[in-house]
Amino acid sequence: MSVAPHSVEKLLTDRYPHGFVSPIAADTVAPGLDEDVIKFISNKKAEPSWMLERRLQAYRHWLTLSEPQWAFVQHPPIDYQAISYYSAPKPPGAGPKSLDEVDPQLLATYNKLGIPLEEQKLLAGVAVDAVFDSVSVATTFKKELAAAGVIFCSMSEAVREHPELIQHYLATVVPHTDNYFAALNAAVFTDGTFVYIPKGVRCPMELSTYFRINAANTGQFERTLIIADAGSYVSYLEGCTAPMRDENQLHAAVVELIALDDATIKYATVQNWYPGDAQGRGGIYNFVTKRGDCRGARSHISWTQVETGAAITWKYPSCILRGDDSIGEFYSVAVTRGKQQADTGTKMIHLGKRTHSTIVSKGVSADSGQNTYRGLVRMSARAEQARNHTRCDSLLLSDRCGAHTLPYMEIRNPTAQVEHEATTSKINEDQLFYCRQRGLSEEAAVSLIVNGFCKEVFNQLPLEFAVEAQKLLNVTLEGAVG
Amino acid sequence: MLEIQDLKVNVAGKPILTGLTLQVRAGEVHAIMGPNGSGKSTLAHVLAGRDGYDVVGGSVLFDGANLLELATEERAVRGIFLAMQYPVELPGVSTMVFLREAFNAQRRARGEVELDAVEFIQRVRDKAKAMQMDDALLKRSVNTGFSGGEKKRNEILQMSLFEPKLAILDETDSGLDIDALRIVADGVNALRSPQRATLIITHYPRLLDYIAPDHVHVLAKGRIVLSGDMALAKQLEVKGYTWIDQEVAA
């Protein structure tokens, strides 16, 4: 059978419709990393000197570290001097004040991605912060949120406008000494989202950030900090895409969540970075540190992630259950196909009494995709009557893919309860035959079965995003059974 | 409607059907009986188009078309329905969603208008009610955690929903109590019409008491060795299958 090359290309683009490049003039710093580059970034962002000091301290620490080697992933060495650490669409500076001032090319890019920034077209009740390469280009619904006392802005703005909150909370969950990529991020982070929900406030709308890498040879190092003060509630969603390129690009983000007494944070990610082509050329290295601190009593942090993109995913959204009776949750769907590799999972660190955690991980592997669940449940000595329930299910769609489950448990309190269930199954001939006998095509059958497999996780997403996630999964898995 | 000529099928190189010939006309109900291992389920699976069966000889025509060339789902679209002996579980897939997806996929493929959600739900509820099937089952994942009887009822519900031209029931009666058996029989009888045909594959003659097939065939060692009417089924009820072997050998 012969297929015209352009139709193969079309198939590939159909599978990754976000792979276009926007012709936007950018202000990009030359590749390379040293103290001058860090000073340049800090200066671009008009940061106070204490912020620069923190960056330099992190950088000096990073120089003493080496890349972690324990993850079940393989990639050629990353040349950190070949990456550009800052790229912003022109005109640079503090960024536009209103949407009218945003470059029409940028608005067009977000429209093409299905994220219209014009507020009137937005999904009712969702406020968006749009981060393009290294800077936040627009944040919507700021006024409406401010009326409720909610701060929702870019990290750069927060450093300038809310230094007391930043100094008090930033890097208290993920210090720069935490790991190699966290140290790098602390030195060179460019933008990201800052959220503060005041005491007793239920955030009146869903908040979301849309991350887009556009420029070539740049890395994206965003930093997100969400603080839910006592008795407050917020639901937050992030989405990510990037153009198709032959080179690998690095995305090393840090996300910190802090929930005080009786506060709830729900954080959802739909990650669809460019995964690379079928031969494994190109794609994003997604090396991310995400951690939530249930600092207050009865606080609640819930992570939901749908990871379908990126050449390599290395991330473990975790919860430190410090407050008594606090609750941590992790719901994950990770899909790997082609040559994608994912090493993902969570850490539940139980410190407080009667703390509860739930882990539900669904791994789907196709083609030569490799999927590893790596999780830690730690019951500390004072975590009286703490409980954890973990379920890891893996679904294999081909003979060449792999699923690996690496659960770690450390239990130092005899009253703690830890349960772990795991299953691995190959997509079942009987199920496919059953569906096809009822008139469904093989593709429709696979999509139905895989969506069923992931349903428990999708149910955690806000409705509109659950529908999006389902569609994304269908596109990702087209022609995946073999 | 269905013309099977000298059908020979191997599974993993081993001959299972060894020259099976059978004609089913519209409006007829045929029962195929036979001891375990005689090839009954193989016949059902080959007609429905399951992978793993090598057709090494013979032909199957369905409404004049070469059935063996069609993909499984195309056969379903053209009106072949197989009620399975072991209905599979689809965790996380709600029964109602599954039925609607499949039903509308068939309609689309036939160039018919799809039913909207409200119409469809009403139709399924009516069918379920007629079968004394609990509505709550429709909200649950397909066959997941269903009892054996509930699974079989779900098969019959689907059969009555899809209104196939040719319904094949593969040992649908096995493991059912007398009430469930009645429901299966009522489902088959309700579907009886001059335009449709039914092929009932069963080990036990019990179900046939409620259905009264037009023709009864005995399958042994991969081919039909005896054909008759209900009287043949009655004979089997009394004498079992061993005398068939002697008869065939003689």
- The token pair that represents A223 in the structure block: 């930093």
Which of A433, A442, A452 has its CB closest to that of B91? A452
CB-based contact A439 B71, cutoff 8 Å: no
Which of A438, A450, A456, A467 to probe by mutation at the B interface, max B CB count within 10 Å? Answer: A438
Q: Where does the pLDDT of residue A115 fall: very low under 50, low under 70, confident under 90, or very high at 90 and above?
A: low
More confident residue, A90 or A142: A142
| A388: helix, strand or coil | strand
Note the pLDDT of residue B248: 63
- Number of domains chain B contains: 1
Mean model confidence pLDDT for chain A: 85
Position A3 pLDDT exceeds 50 = no
- The token pair that represents A228 in the structure block: 């839910």
| B159 touches A: beta carbon within 8 Å | no
CATH number of the domain encompassing residue B203? 3.40.50.300
Measured between alpha carbons, how far is residue B46 from residues A309, B9, B56, B89 in Å?
A: 40, 8, 12, 22
Q: Where does the pLDDT of residue A167 fall: very low under 50, low under 70, confident under 90, or very high at 90 and above?
A: very high
DSSP H or E stretch at residue B218: strand B215-220
Which of A430, A439, A442 has its CB closest to that of B102? A439
Note the pLDDT of residue A4: 36
Position A411 pLDDT exceeds 60 = yes
Please give the model's pTM, rounded to 2 decimal places: 0.83
**CA nearest neighbour of A357 among A295, A304, A301, A305:** A301
Sequence-ordered alpha helix ranges (H) in A113-179: 142-147, 155-161, 163-169
Q: Please give the average per-residue pLDDT across B5-15, as a whole number.
A: 95
Q: Where does the pLDDT of residue A113 fall: very low under 50, low under 70, confident under 90, or very high at 90 and above?
A: low
- A with B: how many residue pairs have Cβ under 8 Å apart? 77
Interface of A with B (CB under 8 A): 428-431, 433-442, 444, 448-449, 451-456
Note the pLDDT of residue B68: 95
Residue A1 falls within a domain, yes or no? no
DSSP H or E stretch at residue A359: strand A356-365
Can you spell out the DSSP letters for A295-317?
Answer: -STT-EEEEEEEE---SEEEE--
Q: Phi, psi (5° rounding) for residue A288?
A: -125, 140
Portion of chain B with pLDDT greater than 90, in percent: 63
Note the pLDDT of residue A416: 96
Residue A76 falls within a domain, yes or no? yes
- Judged by average pLDDT, the poorest of A8-22, A303-317, A377-391, A429-443 is A8-22
Residue A481 falls within a domain, yes or no? no
Rg (chain B; Cα; Å): 18
Q: Phi, psi (5° rounding) for residue A441?
A: -70, 165
Taking contacts as CB-CB distances below 8 angstroms, the residues of chain A near B87 are 434
| A268: helix, strand or coil | strand
Measured between alpha carbons, how far is residue A203 from residues A150, A152, B233 in Å?
A: 7, 10, 72
Which of B51, B76, B89 has its CB closest to that of A439? B76
Position A32 pLDDT exceeds 70 = yes
CB-based contact A438 B88, cutoff 8 Å: no
Q: Are A84 and A203 in contact (CB under 8 A)?
A: no
- Number of domains chain A contains: 1
Note the pLDDT of residue A8: 42
Residue A17 falls within a domain, yes or no? no
Q: Are A264 and A300 in contact (CB under 8 A)?
A: yes
Q: Please give the average per-residue pLDDT across B18-27, as a whole number.
A: 95
Q: Where does the pLDDT of residue A59 fall: very low under 50, low under 70, confident under 90, or very high at 90 and above?
A: very high
Note the pLDDT of residue B30: 96
Taking contacts as CB-CB distances below 8 angstroms, the residues of chain A near B82 are 437
Measured between alpha carbons, how far is residue B132 from residues B83, B164, B179, B184, B239 in Å?
A: 18, 21, 11, 11, 35
CB-based contact B76 A444, cutoff 8 Å: no
Instruction: Tell me the pLDDT tens digit for each residue of A192-235.
Output: 899 999 999 999 888 888 777 766 667 789 899 999 999 999 99
Taking contacts as CB-CB distances below 8 angstroms, the residues of chain B near A453 are 91-92
Q: How far apart are the C-alpha atoms of A473 and A452, rounded to whole Å?
A: 11
Chain B: give the shortest CA distance to residue A480, in Å.
Answer: 18
Show the domain range for A138: 24-476
- Judged by average pLDDT, the poorest of A111-120, A387-396, B197-206, B220-229 is A111-120
| B154: helix, strand or coil | helix
DSSP H or E stretch at residue A454: helix A442-458
CB-based contact A439 B84, cutoff 8 Å: no
Show the domain range for B135: 2-249
Burial (CB count within 10 angstroms: exposed 0-12, middle 13-18, buried 19+), residue B66: exposed
Q: How far apart are the C-alpha atoms of B16 and B221, rounded to whole Å?
A: 7
Taking contacts as CB-CB distances below 8 angstroms, the residues of chain A near B11 are none
Return the ∠ at Cα B18 (arms to B13 and B20), rounded to 5°.
135
Note the pLDDT of residue B76: 97
Q: Where does the pLDDT of residue A136 fall: very low under 50, low under 70, confident under 90, or very high at 90 and above?
A: low
